Structure 1
Amino acid sequence: YGWEGEAMNCPSGHGSVAFGLANHATGDFATVTGGRFNEASGMASAVMGGRLNEVTGDSSAVIGGELNKATGKYAAVLGGDSNEAAGWSTAVTGGGSNKANGSYSVVTGGQNNNANGEFTSVTGGVSNDAKG
């Protein structure tokens, strides 16, 4: 992220806004509404709060938590720590170190779970892998 010494917000995308502390909204129509050291670089992407969250997917969002990423298009991470929604229309709703890779996949919690197949889901637990 590289912003440790910066305290200003940077809404540099066309029609973007950034609030909080040292947040960057670099995608067109991107929004960061709070927290610190967050970045929304996808078009029409959003980070609602938390710390060190990143949204690179278009029309994607991270609601809160820490070190979460929404890299797929139409992807969402609702909270937790070190989660990633990487596939098309994927979601991770919480927990830690979970990843939704397959299109239309979801991980609803737990730790170190992966939804890798298309239309797969993991509803919790530890170190589960849904391949579809």
Structure 2
Amino acid sequence: LDPGRTHVFTATIQHEEGNLETRRCSEKERRCYSGVKRKACQIEKLKLRTGIKTIETGFPSAKTVDMEKTNAYVTYDLINIPRLFRFYDEKSAPFRFYDYQGRQRSNAEMANILINGGKKYNKTKQSRKQRKK
């Protein structure tokens, strides 16, 4: 998205004279449909529990021309790479798959909103919890 743009799409159609229908989906709604925030929180908790977060935040900068700082980066990387490989092995594949599923779900929901209103614009398709708001 461009800076300052908050909606992924905005569609307007006029069925009859004076009957203007506008459907839109914001970036925040798209992220909610895909479940990005919830999964990111789960991964952050897992990183904290296993100590990976401290390793990742402790990395010295790789963007330098100073040879001593470059050597410090490479040394830190070589010391901690086995722990990072253990964390990011095949056990992390479900995280990527769930992200893929979330992207597919959000794309389908946005297409549903654009084509026939989806749950957002159709009161009969909304869950009871959403209607009480």
**TM-score for the superposition, normalised by structure 2:** 0.19
Higher helix share: 2
Higher strand share: 1
